[in-house]
Structures are given as structure tokens and as C-alpha cells.
Amino acid sequence: MSLPLYLIGARGCGKTTVGQALALALGYAFSDTDKHLQQTTGLTVTEIVAAEGWQGFRQRESLSLQAVTADRTVIATGGGMVLAAENRQFMREHGQVIYLKADAAVLAARLEAYPEQAQRPTLTGRPIADEMVDVLAARDKLYHEAAHYIIDAMQQPEVVVEEIISVLALARAS
């Protein structure tokens, strides 16, 4: 049995890109909680938030996390997954949690370069660079609290994948 690997971090840190490459490298399945939520509801994140508010979205997000959790699966979580203490505890108890950490300026640049408005609604209504500073300030402690491992996500995705594999190998050896 190989426990699931949960990738956490702010929007734009590379959870989906790194997660897909990591799953391929490990021979694991890949799941994305936001994509699962969209497939099961037929709605985008923006539409869910508009209809049910952030609280309704967060409840659905928690159910999505539980639904996609399976052995030998890399799971890319939504950036706000750590906001609920139950989600942080669930991930720590059911698998290995990897925080893909990046500076706010890098995250903002990535989000501006690859905007996906339907999947990434603004949290504050402010410019993305300002929003990322605020979001990281509010969530960084929660990401650290949830994480078993912290990886520098400001590198190329293939380097991030190699680092994760190395960290997991070291952990198994000790």
C-alpha cells in the first residue's frame, strides 16, 4: 500500500502541473480536487461560488477531497483546501502532504501569464499581485501546519518533481 500524496499551496504554485508529472514518474493515478468538483457538479468554481458563496464551495471542496483520496494517487488540492482544520487533519492522517511553496510575486506572474478565470475566481477583487501577498500572509502558516514536506516551487516543474521523489525516498529509507 502506498499512501496518497497531497499537493498543497497557493494558486499558481504548480500543483496540477507538478502533480501530473509526479504521478507519471511514480506510476500513480492523478486527481485534482477542483476538476473533480467541476465534473461532479457540472459547474465551474466561479459558478459554485456565485450560487453558494465561498462557504458552500468550501463544503463541496472538502467532500471532493475525501472522494478522490485513494492509495497510489497524487492529489492536487485547491489553494484554500487548508482553510478547514478538518481538511488539514484528514490529509495528514491519510497520506503525505507536500507544500509547494513559492513567493507571492512568482505566483502572481504565473497567474497573469496563464489566466483561467472560470477556475480561478478572485478572492478579494483586487489586482492579482496584491491578492497573492494577502492570501499567502493568511495561509502560509496553515500550509506549514498541514505539510509533511516543504518544496521550493519556484523551480522548473521537472526539478520540483525530482526534489519530491528524493525527499520521499529519504523518508522511506529512514
> Could you tell me the pTM of the whole model?
0.90
What would the mean pLDDT of 49-74 be, rounded to a whole number?
95
Q: What is the pLDDT of residue 44?
A: 87
Q: pLDDT tens, 108-163?
A: 787 777 766 444 555 566 677 777 788 888 899 999 999 999 999 999 999 999 99
Strand partners, 73: 29
Mean pLDDT of the chain, nearest integer: 89
Residue 60: what residue type? R
Q: For 75-110, what is each residue's pLDDT tens digit?
A: 999 999 999 999 999 999 999 999 999 988 888 787
Q: What is the mean pLDDT of residues 42-56?
A: 90
Residues in the chain, total? 174
- 94 vs 142: CA distance, rounded Å: 17
Residue 165 in this model has a pLDDT that exceeds 60: yes
Residue 63 has pLDDT above 50, yes or no: yes
Please determine, for residue 16, whether its predicted confidence score (pLDDT) is greater than 60: yes
32 DSSP β-pair partners? 76
Radius of gyration of the chain (CA): 15
- CA-CA distance, 91 to 82, in Å (whole number)? 9
Task: Quote the cell numbers at residue 122.
Answer: 478572485
The SS3 assignment for 148 reads coil
Q: How far apart are CA 158 and CA 14, in angstroms?
A: 11
Per-residue pLDDT at 123: 59
Give me the residues paired with residue 30 across strands. Answer: 74
Q: What's the Cα-to-Cα distance from 107 to each of 10, 51, 90, rounded to whole Å?
A: 8, 27, 26
> To which residue does cell 497573469 refer?
112
**pLDDT above 50: residue 174:** yes
| Nearest to 161, CA basis, from 14, 57, 58 | 14
Residue listed under C-alpha cell 456565485? 50
